Each structure stands twice: as C-alpha cells, then as structure tokens.
Chain A
Amino acid sequence: MSDTPRAGARVPKLRTWHWPELLFIAPFLILYVTFLLFPMAWGFWMSFNYYDLFAGFSEYIGLENYQQLFSDQIYRRAVINTFLFVAITVPPLVVLGLLIALVLNRQTWWSAVLRTLFFGSTVLSVTIVTLIWRGVYLPQKGLLDNFLNAVGIGGIGILQDPNLALIGIAITTVWWGIGLPMVLFLAALQQVPGEIYEAAKLDNASPWQTLWSITIPSIWRTVVLVIIIQIIAHFQVFGQINLMTGGGPNNSTRSMVQFIYESGFRQWTAGFASAAAQVLFVIMVIAAGLQFWASRRKQEF
C-alpha cells in the first residue's frame, strides 16, 4: 500500500467502464452490420441496378426496376393475393383463437389436452404441414374429396381450382397457426384479476354481459396486438404457397414474398427482385411501427 496517492495529489477517476468490456457487444455489432444491415443496404442499391447474376454484370438503371415492377401484371396480382390472403386468414385466426382460449381457460385435464392439440400443429415445419394438407386436398384420393364424394357433393380438387386454391391454403394456414393467437389470448385472460369477475357476479351480470363488458375490454390490448402480429406474419406468406401450388393455378395464389423468390432465384433478376423486396420492407416497417405503438399503449378499459 505504499503507492497510495497523498492527499491533494491528482488521482485518476474511478472508472465505470473499460475498453475491453466493449468485447461484450462487439461480436453482435460485427455480425449485425455484416449480415443484416449491409445486405439491407446492398439490396437497396441493387434495386436501382440491372443485375445479371450469371454473367456477374451490373448496370445502374435508376428507377427502372420499380417502373417495371408496378406495371407488372403478375406483381399486381401478387400484391392483391397477399392482401386477400391476409384478409381471409387473420379474422378466423383471431376469432377462433379467442373462442378456443375463452373455452379452454380452465384448469381441467381435457382443456389441457385440447390446448396441447391446438398448439401442437404450430411446432411442425411448413413442409410437413403442406405434405399433410396436400394429401388431404389430393383430387379424388385425398381426405377432403373422399368426404365430399361421400356426402354427394363430389370432389373439387381445391388446389387445382383458381377460385378456391387461396382458400385452401388459408385453411391450411389457420390449422397450422391457431396455436399462437390461442396462447396469447390465454396469457391475457389469466392476467385479468379474478376480483373483477366476483364484482360482476355481485352486480348480477349475466355471462354474456360479463364477456362483453368485462372480459373483452380487459384483453382488448392483446386482441389488437394479436391482429397486428398475425397481419405481419401472414403478409410474409411464402412456404405454404410455394409448396402447395407454386403460385398457381394461373397466378391465383402467388404472394409478394413468392414473387421475390421467383424473380430472384428462378429468373435470377436480382435487381428486380430487390425492388420488390424494398416494397415489402416498407410495408413491414409500417406494420412494425403499428405493433410498437400497440404494445406500448396503455391498457384502456
């Protein structure tokens, strides 16, 4: 202890951090910039270029990719399909998810079993889900047509019909994804304090009134959040479509992400695909902003 500074001498400040401690965040920052931000920026740049991935040739062409994109009939169809898909997928997911959660929000063995069943499909990969459902949808041989034949309607070959294929994919998607809205609603329902229900009983509220004036308002924030989460998720639909219909028949199921995939990795027009990716990015940023807003908002009764 002989090297202790004397009174009045200048001493270094007590350090709250040291340079080597930045090693904690360095790996993340390096990987983050290299594999997320840089590709994002490069993609942005690509969208203003003509890229020939095979020839290794590129040329700056300004907004031409975007002009071509917005005048592309198939792209327009893909945008419409995507919105349509969200519109027919999200409402049943939210409504059925809420219904299931309300019914299964109890401590009995059979509700636990049913919760396991409804969430179980969520852990399967998209390939397994589509394998199962392509089997179910097989013309004449599948479960669906078997059933329709049996009741006398006759097989429809749902995925082969341009008017029905998107609905078929939506049914598969609801079957696959119902678990998440269900568990989110269940979590929200368990947050509602039991005293509120006891107070409602003392006020002679009927079960129906209790549902609409107590339960739903109490979890309204979660309802909004689930709707936004589901919109974000299904806006990016790709796997089911690529595997079940490949975008057909007649482009009736082509989605925006599948359009990016096809133009990037089937036609190998990287610049054009990047332009389509930028459009998706803008929509996703808006949706993420909405989600941020919804999740930060105070619970309102």
Chain B
Amino acid sequence: MSRIDLVSINKKFGSYEAIADLSLAIDAGEFVVFLGPSGCGKTTLLRMIAGLEAVTEGEIHIGDRRVEHLPPGQRGVAMVFQSYALYPHMTVAQNMAFGLRNIGTGKSVIDAKIMEAARILQLEALLDRKPGQLSGGQRQRVAIGRAIVKSPEVFLFDEPLSNLDAMLRARTRVEIARLHQTLGATMVFVTHDQIEAMTMAQKIVVMSNGKIEQVGAPLDIYRRPATRFVASFVGVPAMNFLDVSSTETVDGKLHVKVGETVVPTGVAAAGLSEPLTLGIRPEALRVDPAGSIEARVDVVERLGEKTIIHAILPGGQSVVGEDSDTSTLNFGDQVCFSVDSGRTHIFDAAGRGHHAEVTP
C-alpha cells in the first residue's frame, strides 16, 4: 500500500487538452473515487497512473518512486477493466498466473497466491474454466482476482461495475468495499455512477472537463458542493436551481426573492452579490400546507418510503420536492412547499457554492 501524488499533470491528445494542470494527493490505503460524466478525463487520469497513457507534463509518484516514465508493469499497480479484459483463451487459473509467471515467480508461490485469491473471491470451483464459460459477475471476480494475486501497491478500477445488472452491481459494491477493508490497499476507482461513489469512497474527486471540481468525503460533497456542477451532478433527483431576482439581508443571513416569493436561507450574506442562484435539494423542499412556495403538481412518483413531487412554479419553472409516503396529491393539484433554510445553497456568478450548513 502506497500513497499516490499527482503533480501538475497535463495531458494533450494532439491539440486537445484533456487534462489541464491537475494535482492530487491520495493517501496510502485510501479508497478514492474519480467521479464525473463521460469525457471528463477521469479514465484518462487513471490510465496515466497505470502507465497505459503517457503524461504530457507533470509528475506521478507512487510511494517514494517517481513513475511517469516507467512502463505499466513496473509501477506496482493492478487494474480491473470495464470489460474485465480477461485472456479469453486461458483458464481462470492461467489468467491469474500470467502476471506472476512474467516476473519469474516460482510455481508453488503462484499456486498459493491463486488459491488465496480464489478463496477470498469464492472462485475455487471455477479455476479450470475459461472466461467464456463464466457469468458476468464471475468474470468480474476473476478480473479482481487477477489484480489481487499480484499484491500491488495500488488497485485501479475503471468502471468495473457498469456491465453488471443492478442486483449484482449492488452486491459487488459491498464486496469491493469489504476487499478494501481486508487488504487495506490503496484503491482508485473510476465511475460516472454517484451511488457507487457515495457508497464506496473515503474520498471523492469530482471531475469535469479535465479539471477537478471538488475533492472531499462523500457527505461533504453532498452537503457542501463546491460548485454548481458538483451540486447538479451529485444527488438524485437533482438539486433545484432557482434564479434569484433580488436579495435582502436579515440577521446577517441572505433572504432571496424567487418569483413572487421570498425564501429565507441560512447562507451568510457577507460578500455575496447578484446574480445569484438558489439551490435546494428535493428533500429540503417539502410539501407543507403552510409553506410559502405555491406550485401546480405535474408528476407524482410514489417510491414507497416517500413521494417525489414534480411541480411547476407560477413562473413556469419546474421544481422537485418531497412529500410523505401517504401523499394524496395528483396531477393538476395546487400544492405549497416549505424550504428548510438550514439546507439551502447559494451559487454565485462563477458557480461557486455557499452553504447554510457549516461543517457536516
């Protein structure tokens, strides 16, 4: 287990700048998730750590070593690919042994390591099968096994769950999290799925357009999104963004006018100037007969434990709020929402976030 330091990384494909001046520190033994939409550079960044992609500028350190000039095999990393990339003509055991044989590991050591990995991943019965005879979930476990036997300093995962069905994906999330606890290794996991990021990561790195938007613990990212991009990307249903037409300051806190309604927020008013945008997560916008925000119900989604209300404000803008599981609202009904001002967010013209909550 090693720490990873990325220093002023720059990556160009021809004249296209995929990653611009990116620096990041990953602690030894940490589980880090690179989260972002497709094309944001997260996979490129992972592949540069692996050595499958050269950096244009900058340094990569794994442990005490500077590695950006080393070929992939010499960096002490193992990678699990999105397509698993198993060797189709080799058995499960041969797949796992290949990397060890290439560095001259003795046969007895290889066998011991394969048995150990097979035990952890419950692959004992499958060792003589070829990948074509395995289910998607089994292939996935073999891919992880192939990484484990190398006892790497760093595990790299490139969207490894995206080819699994929903049930299996949830189970494998738990398995990978458990594996991290067992092995204690540094793990870097790339995904566009925020559920995977929120559930597994100790630290999430949110990326967009080749830049880091925010680095933080999952709840930190959720409660105090640094930018409007992070706020919109993390959370389902997505945060509501409402244009602020005017503001006033009450007791040092910002009160904003949205349409015809004044919404009190918990955000400190100091240093903020218009134009501003109000951000409210659906769970902070609750149906409340005494609420001040009026709207007309558009779509009702009953999830069982709660009800999601899609409604249209008098100005024509859509908002998403919540009601209890016993909601009786229907299409066309008038509805009032109240805002939990302690969980409001304000985004300035540059997209920077200001939050009512101070620390999680």
Contacts and interface: CB of A to CB of B under 8 A. Distances in A.
Direct contact of A and B (CB under 8 A): yes
Contacts of A5: 66, 69
Interface string B52-80: 00110001010011101111000000000
A5 B55 CA distance: 16
Nearest to B55: A14
Is chain B's binding surface mostly helix, strand, loop or mixed? loop
B51 interface: yes
B28 interface: no
A14 B70 contact: yes
B7 interface: yes
B260 to A, nearest CB: 56
Contacts of B55: 14
Contact of A12 (B59, B65, B69): B69
A7 B71 contact: no
Interface in B18-63: 51, 54-55, 59, 61
Contact of A14 (B59, B65, B68): B68
Nearest to B53: A14
A11 B64 contact: no
A11 B64 CA distance: 15
B69 A1 contact: no
Contacts, number: 29
A11 B68 contact: yes
Given A14-B51, A16-B54, A7 B64 contact: no
A6 B61 CA distance: 10
State which size class the interface on B falls in: 10 to 19
Interface in A1-20: 1, 4-9, 11-16
A48 to B, nearest CB: 45
Contacts of B71: 14-15
B69 A13 contact: yes
A176 to B, nearest CB: 39
Given A13-B54, A14-B51, A7 B69 contact: no
Contacts of B66: 4-7, 9, 11
A69 to B, nearest CB: 50
Contacts of A15: 71
A285 to B, nearest CB: 34
B65 A11 contact: no
Contact of B65 (A4, A8, A9, A16): A4
15 contacts: A5-B66, A6-B66, A7-B7, A7-B61, A9-B66, A11-B69, A12-B69, A13-B69, A14-B51, A14-B54, A14-B55, A14-B68, A14-B70, A15-B71, A16-B54
Interface of B: 7, 51, 54-55, 59, 61, 64-66, 68-71
Interface of A: 1, 4-9, 11-16
In the A-B complex, the 5 residue pairs with the closest CB atoms: A14-B54, A11-B69, A4-B65, A5-B66, A12-B69
Given A8-B59, A9-B66, 13 more contacts: A4-B64, A4-B65, A5-B66, A7-B59, A7-B61, A7-B66, A11-B68, A11-B69, A12-B69, A13-B69, A14-B68, A14-B69, A14-B71
